[in-house]
């Protein structure tokens, strides 16, 4: 039986949904979690070894995704999970029963993904899922706005200002 803690019950009663909660709800809905877990599970350590029992793949994958989406280091993600009820709910952690996996555990999970080329496999699985939905993911282009020296906009044939040309001030010079 999953009984809620007082803190999570109080959090659930708040009236406003934050942007973070909305984003995480969207990710919960659109990410093909079962397919991604199936890619990782064959290479993930199982129980029966000496020492701490491994954290489940679903929880580690969700933590890894949070780290990528929010650009967090291992330690920063650990702290964020302690700080944010929304992040804990997404990962499935109830602090009244368990602690947040530490930064070293996340580091080992990331190394498992990288050493076995699983990040590429996850990307391919997401692309396959999107293709089934009739969607396409492709790389974008970053455009760098650079300030260049140009003649005055009134030095043209008609001696009129070009409506598409704009000025900017850099230091004390226009």
Sign of the dihedral through C-alpha 3, 5, 87, 40: negative
Per the domain annotation, does 143 fall within a domain? no
Per the domain annotation, does 153 fall within a domain? no
Q: What is the mean pLDDT of each run of 10 residues along the chain (174 residues)?
A: 58 76 90 93 77 82 93 93 92 88 92 93 87 68 55 66 68 72
| pLDDT at residue number 80 | 94
> Count of domains in the chain?
1
Is 0.85 surpassed by the pTM of this model?
no
CA distance 171 to 62: 46
Q: How far is CA 15 from the centre of its chain?
A: 25
- DSSP conformation class of 15: S
Torsion of CA 30, 32, 36, 41, to 10 degrees: 120
Per the domain annotation, does 148 fall within a domain? no
Per the domain annotation, does 14 fall within a domain? yes
CA distance 41 to 57: 7
Per the domain annotation, does 105 fall within a domain? yes
| pLDDT at residue number 132 | 86
| pLDDT at residue number 50 | 61
Per the domain annotation, does 100 fall within a domain? yes
Burial class (CB in 10 A: 0-12, 13-18, 19+), 40: buried
Reported as a single tens digit per residue, the pLDDT across 13-53 is 667 888 999 999 988 988 999 999 999 999 998 765 566 66
Residue 113 has phi, psi (to 5 degrees) of -65, -45
Per the domain annotation, does 147 fall within a domain? no
Tell the residue number behind the tokens 């679903």, with chain if given.
58
Per the structure, the complete domain to which residue 76 belongs is given by: 6-132
Per the domain annotation, does 84 fall within a domain? yes
């Amino acid at each position: 039986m999953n009984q809620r803690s007082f803190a999570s019950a109080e959090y659930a009663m708040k009236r406003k949904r934050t942007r973070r909660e909305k984003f995480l709800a969207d990710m919960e809905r659109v990410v093909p979690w079962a397919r991604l877990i199936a890619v990782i599970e064959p290479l993930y350590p199982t129980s029966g070894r000496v020492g701490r029992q491994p954290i489940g793949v679903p929880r580690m994958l969700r933590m890894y995704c949070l780290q990528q989406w929010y650009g967090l280091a291992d330690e920063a993600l650990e702290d964020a999970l302690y700080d944010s009820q929304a992040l804990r709910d997404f990962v499935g952690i109830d602090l009244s029963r368990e602690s947040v996996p530490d930064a070293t555990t996340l580091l080992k999970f990331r190394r498992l993904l990288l050493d076995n080329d699983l990040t590429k496999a996850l990307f391919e699985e997401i692309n396959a899922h999107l293709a089934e939905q009739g969607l396409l993911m492709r790389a974008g282009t970053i455009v760098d706005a650079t300030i260049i020296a140009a003649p005055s906009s009134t030095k043209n044939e008609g001696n009129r200002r070009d409506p598409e040309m704009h000025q900017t001030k850099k230091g004390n010079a226009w």
